[in-house]
Amino acid sequence: MHLNHTHDATRLSWLAQANDRVTDFPLQNLPLCVFRRRDGDEAWRGGVGIGDQIVDLAALSRTRCVSGELAAAVQAAAGASLNPLLELGPGAWQTLRHGLFALLEAGSQNEPTVRQVLVSQEAVEYRMPIQVGDYTDFYTSLDHAVNCCRQFGLEVYPNFDWLPIAYHGRASSIEVSGQKVFRPMGQSRLDAAAAPVFGPCQRLDYELEIGAVIGRGNARGSRIALEDAQQHIFGLCLLNDWSARDIQTWEMNPLGPFLAKNFATTISPWIVTLEALLPYRTSWSRAPERPQPLAYLSAAQNAAEGAFDIQLEVSIQSASQRAAGLQPRTLTRTSFRHQYWTLGQMIAHHTVGGCNLQSGDLLGSGTISGPTAGEAGALIELTVCATQPVDIGHGEHRGFLEDGDTVLFKGWCQRENFVRIGFGVNQGTVHPAP
């Protein structure tokens, strides 16, 4: 968990596109996915992003470029799911990353062979990179909580200051970017004086989140200390926690969301490893006038580098805009560094009672919103529950999402003296209720 040669901004790849200053996938990133070529019957297999290409790990495993521990790591990542690689642990993760870095770096004697196992990103389709066993969604942005509560004349619950609030989500409806999001059916009660009604959601929303993939779990009955929590994260992705606000408002008390959240969750196809993100860790603190965390949620390491400065943006593209080839307008720009609780604190609290996390478990960060109006991570905040519709460009406005709308998330990290790295795109399109 230390900076090393793979973070050196002066190191270049023999693949010219990987040296483009605005690419998401330079040599210093090397995110993982599961893919296959479109319009064929190829097997799904693991891949690594570099520039505008993908290193086909299944094909690489059959070359003489890899041997020993690197061959074992490549083979574990070469199948239809990355879970076997996650289960090998941090040593194998680093062996894979460092081995690929050497193969792709300018001057590598293996360049001719590795070029033969590259596949253009434009030619592929993606599937879920991991098999998600369990999914926990958190609620950890104070700005988001304040913005939402204020609309209904409420105060943020006192427990928000003391623990990372979460609920157990539905893993079966998590799909990769490009997911068809069917407008959910359910009960809602917008008029407190009337009976609830059943029908399609009228207040469909997105939530901008980061997904954390657990790489190494813990034994049931044990706990993960805050100081060790980051070592259990394999990598991060972009996550859209689609939300039916009208259904949610009616069903949520006293046990929390159910139908409002279980119909769809979309993640980006790329998992950016935690090692690639090390340069973009940053300090975490809380305003002195607010309660400070209890001892098990407080550590010097967490204060020094528990947060991640990941730049994020959200845009919406309507069906008519897409048909006309019009580009979507960016509605939100914010950073993951604003979260009230860190990923490490989420993991420490999740396991403090003896819960056993497992390889492939997915944690959602909760909606990411910043302190200014343009940093709201959901439409319910951005439009003040549709009372102030937002301009999505080309004469169209939205209070909540309409059928045909595509929601796009982008994320990247940049810091002086380091190379910019990105997460690709997470997108999903709203379809009518079935």
Q: Are residue 96 and residue 179 in the same domain, yes or no?
A: no
Last residue in a domain, options 126, 154, 169:
126
Q: Are residue 176 and residue 39 in the same domain, yes or no?
A: no
Q: Are residue 360 and residue 397 in the same domain, yes or no?
A: yes
Q: Are residue 39 and residue 167 in the same domain, yes or no?
A: no
Q: Are residue 227 and residue 366 in the same domain, yes or no?
A: yes
CATH number of the domain bearing residue 40:
2.30.30.230
CATH number of the domain bearing residue 240:
3.90.850.10
Of 2, 7, 98, 144, which one is the catalytic site residue?
144
Which residue type, as a one-letter code, is found at position 49?
G
Alpha-helix runs per DSSP H in 46-89? 57-60, 68-76, 83-88
Give bridge partners of residue 181 from the DSSP assignment: 430
Handedness of CA 343, 348, 350, 356 (dihedral sign): positive
Which pLDDT value is given to residue 40?
83
Q: Are residue 111 and residue 70 in the same domain, yes or no?
A: yes
Which pLDDT value is given to residue 367?
97
Last residue in a domain, options 62, 93, 126:
126
Which pLDDT value is given to residue 122?
97
Q: Residues of the chain whose pLDDT is less than 70? A: none
Which pLDDT value is given to residue 64?
95
Q: Are residue 159 and residue 207 in the same domain, yes or no?
A: yes
Which pLDDT value is given to residue 190?
85
Q: Are residue 117 and residue 142 in the same domain, yes or no?
A: no
Which pLDDT value is given to residue 153?
85
Q: Are residue 175 and residue 253 in the same domain, yes or no?
A: yes
How many domains is the chain built from?
A: 2
Per the structure, the complete domain to which residue 270 belongs is given by: 135-431
Which two tokens mark 135?
């999914």
Q: Are residue 122 and residue 234 in the same domain, yes or no?
A: no
Q: Are residue 111 and residue 139 in the same domain, yes or no?
A: no
Last residue in a domain, options 64, 92, 126:
126
Which residue type, as a one-letter code, is found at position 226?
L
Q: Are residue 157 and residue 117 in the same domain, yes or no?
A: no
Which pLDDT value is given to residue 154?
86
3-state SS class at 50: strand
- 8 Å CB contact between 36 and 45: yes
Which pLDDT value is given to residue 151?
87
2 is annotated as an active-site residue: no
**Run of H or E including 104:** helix 90-104
10 Å CB burial of residue 178 (0-12, 13-18, 19+) is middle
Which pLDDT value is given to residue 43?
97
